[in-house]
Amino acid sequence: MKKSNKMIAAAATGALLLTGGITAVANAVAPAAPVAAPAKAPADVQPAPENVVAQNRITVGASSKAVNAALAKCQADKLPFVTVALVDRFGTVQALLRGDNAAEHTIEAAKQKAYTAAAFGAPTSELAKRINGNGPSIADLPGTLFLAGGVPLKVNGVSVAGIGVGGAPDGALDEACATAGADALAAAAK
Tell me the pLDDT tens digit for each residue of 83-94.
999 999 999 999
> Residue 95 is part of a domain; what is its CATH number?
3.30.450.150
Note whether 69 and 25 are same-domain residues.
no
Cα gap 168→82, rounded to integer Å: 6
How far is CA 175 from its chain centroid? 22
Tell me the pLDDT tens digit for each residue of 49-81.
888 888 889 999 999 999 999 999 999 999 999
Residue 133's domain comprises: 60-189
Average pLDDT of the segment spanning 83-111:
96
- Name residue 88's beta-bridge partners: 161
Task: State yes or no: pLDDT of 125 exceeds 80.
Answer: yes
Note whether 20 and 84 are same-domain residues.
no
- Name residue 86's beta-bridge partners: 95, 163
Note whether 2 and 68 are same-domain residues.
no
Nearest alpha-carbon partner for 179 in 66, 64, 87: 66
Q: How many domains does the chain have?
A: 2
In a domain, 69, yes or no: yes
